[in-house]
Amino acid sequence: MGVSGGSIVPARGYLVIYADADLPVSSTNTGFGLKANGGEIYLFNKARDQRDH
């Protein structure tokens, strides 16, 4: 899933992204859920370098 619309998160800014399988995919929802016992989401920049998880 990628953040659509060319969203840019400024330094010290934030973007809330939901992982809710009960909601459709959107610019703020992945369309999949995470298991209650854990899971991971990785963040990458435009150059596909991992930035966080």
Each residue of 34-49: pLDDT tens digit?
Answer: 888 878 888 777 787 8
Range of the domain at 5: 1-36
47 within domain boundaries: no
What pLDDT does 22 receive? 94
2 within domain boundaries: yes
53 within domain boundaries: no
- pLDDT, one tens digit per residue, over 3-41 is 555 677 788 988 888 889 999 988 888 888 888 887 888
44 within domain boundaries: no
Q: Is the pLDDT of residue 52 over 70?
A: no
Q: Which two tokens stand for residue 36?
A: 């209650």
Report pTM. Answer: 0.59
| Closest C-alpha among 34, 36, 45, 40 to residue 3 | 45
Q: Phi-psi bin for 10: left (phi > 0), alpha (psi -120 to 50), beta?
A: beta
24 within domain boundaries: yes
CA 48 to centroid of chain Cα atoms: 14
Domain count, the chain: 1
